Amino acid sequence: MLTYSDLPKSDKRIIQELLNLGAQRMYRKGLKKAESIVEKWKKSIADEKSDEKFYSNLCKTIINHDKSISRTFDGLSGSRFVITVAGLFADDILKEDDLKGLTPDTYEFMLQFKHTME
């Protein structure tokens, strides 16, 4: 198992950048889910009786997505940085192109981790 302390300085910097990128993409994914619900609501705006249903669905969606973000990032310490980035990659939040710049050993670890999760 590759740990953050095992990484060269260049990989540590990239891992931190990938954590930030992963968080931004998760925020965007949540916003897109919310946008989809609002768009459906706008199309049915003539039916005020469904407002409560859409509002409730919007709230539940945001809360559930926020829980997902929290599980990933709350209390994140250096000992979990590498495995968290590997998880973001395995979940297709980070893409293979995002990993460019990592040293070959770290890059290969990410690929192997994703492969084992498939």
60-100 tens-digit pLDDT: 999 999 999 999 999 999 999 999 999 999 999 999 999 99
Question: Using alpha carbons only, what angle is made at residue 54 by residues 52 and 58, rounded to the nearest 5 degrees?
Answer: 115
* Residue 108 binned pLDDT confidence (cut-offs 50, 70, 90): very high
- Give the pLDDT of residue 45: 73
Bridge partners of 101?
Answer: none
- Cα dihedral across residues 6, 9, 10, 15: positive or negative: positive
How crowded is residue 50: how many other Cβ atoms within 10 Å of its Cβ? Answer: 14
- Give the pLDDT of residue 1: 83
Q: What amino acid occupies position 100?
A: K
Q: What is the pTM of this model?
A: 0.90
Where in the chain are the domains?
Answer: 8-117
CB contact set of 29 (below 8 Å; sequence gap of 6+)? 65, 93
